[in-house]
């Protein structure tokens, strides 16, 4: 698995309140806003802050977010295809990760699965075929100095 971080996803109590704080309050510009579900804000060329409704987040990850054992956030590693999702999940599990959810087609149009690292931090391995997902992946491929990865 390549060394990079694509999305930081946080489970929030109220997406509208988060939108009001980050967008209206701080002046950040959302790339995507689905009222009551999610707001996504590009915070760097290849990093997106994703603020999810807690219930939708829990359903997406396939694990409850309340109680011990699971922090209500994920880190995401985006790749270019569903096959790459499965391969990266296999690599992570081989390296000691625990499989939470195998790669699967998602309602939002992509394909993703979830693993946890040895300390329990959840990683989403995702293929996100959308303008935002494509841009994040393209920025990573270009590299910070314009070098092709």
Which pLDDT band holds residue 13 (cuts at 50, 70, 90)?
confident
Whether the per-residue pLDDT at 123 is higher than 60: the answer is: yes
Whether the per-residue pLDDT at 71 is higher than 90: the answer is: no
> What sign does the CA torsion over 84, 9, 70, 57 have?
negative
Beta strand spans in 86-137 (E): 98-105, 111-116, 122-127
For residue 145, the tally of other CB atoms under 10 A from its CB is 5
* Residue range 44-64: mean pLDDT, rounded: 86
Listed range (50-54, 63-67, 133-137) with the worst mean pLDDT: 63-67
Would you state the pLDDT for residue 79? 94
> What sign does the CA torsion over 75, 78, 84, 86 have?
positive
Would you state the pLDDT for residue 64? 72
Q: Domains in the chain, please, with CATH?
A: 7-142 (3.10.180.10)
Would you state the pLDDT for residue 145? 43
* Residue range 75-88: mean pLDDT, rounded: 94
Q: Which residue has the higher pLDDT, 81 or 68?
A: 81
Taking only the tens place, the pLDDT of each residue in 14-42 is: 999 999 988 998 889 999 999 999 999 99
Its pTM stands at: 0.69
Contact 70, 58 (CB under 8 A): no
Q: What is the dihedral of CA 88, 78, 80, 83, to 10 degrees?
A: 30
Taking only the tens place, the pLDDT of each residue in 88-121 is: 999 999 988 999 999 999 998 999 999 988 768 7
Output b/e per residue, 51-80; b: 16+ Cβ within 10 A: bbbbebbbebbeeebeeeebebbbebbbbe
Helix H or strand E encompassing 58:
helix 54-61
């Amino acid at each position: 698995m390549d060394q990079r971080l694509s999305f930081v996803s946080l489970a929030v109590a109220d997406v509208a309140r988060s939108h009001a704080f980050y967008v209206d309050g701080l002046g950040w510009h959302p790339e995507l806003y689905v009222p009551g579900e999610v707001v996504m804000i590009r915070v760097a060329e290849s990093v997106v802050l994703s603020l999810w409704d807690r219930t939708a987040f829990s359903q997406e990850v396939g694990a409850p977010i309340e109680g011990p054992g699971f922090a209500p956030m994920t880190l995401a590693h985006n790749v270019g295809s569903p096959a790459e999702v499965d391969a990266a999940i296999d690599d992570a599990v081989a390296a000691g990760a625990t499989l939470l959810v195998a790669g699967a087609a998602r309602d939002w149009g992509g394909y993703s699965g979830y693993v946890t690292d040895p300390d329990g931090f959840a990683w989403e391995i995702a293929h996100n075929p959308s303008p935002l997902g494509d841009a994040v992946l393209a920025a990573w491929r270009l590299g910070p100095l314009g070098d092709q990865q």
